[in-house]
Amino acid sequence: MKRKFFLILFLGISIAGLSQGPPDFQKALQTVNPDQIESTMGFLASDLLEGRQPGTRGFAIASQYVQAQFKALGLMPGGESNQYVQRVLLKKGVVERS
């Protein structure tokens, strides 16, 4: 019983704290567009991107899309050679059955 009370109390305080956040935070929250989020997620999850596995055409399309979104938002590149991408060494493990 005490656990539920403290959980509800914590959630109430957290929500109250967020609703009285700094003006910049409130302004940023007002710019969130659920339709735009749904559109972006729909595209990135679409069959067109073929699962977005590294090294595939679908991965390259998704990468270009995300980079274009970063540019449109005015974000500065932070990767190697002043790019939006970063090379990452991927290792693959294979389980052999005896």
Same domain, 38 and 73: yes
Does the residue 20 lie in any domain?
yes
Q: DSSP for the chain?
A: -HHHHHHHHHHHHHHHHHHT--HHHHHHHHT--HHHHHHHHHHHTSGGGGGG-TTSHHHHHHHHHHHHHHHHTTPPP-SGGG-S----------PPP-
The stretch 79-93 carries a mean pLDDT of 83
Domain encompassing residue 40 = 33-77
Same domain for 69 and 39: yes
Do 21 and 50 lie in one domain? The reply is no
More confident residue, 97 or 22: 97
Residue 82 lies in a domain: no
In a domain, 96, yes or no: no
Residue-level pLDDT at 65: 92
* pLDDT value for 1: 56
Residues 13 and 46 in one domain: no
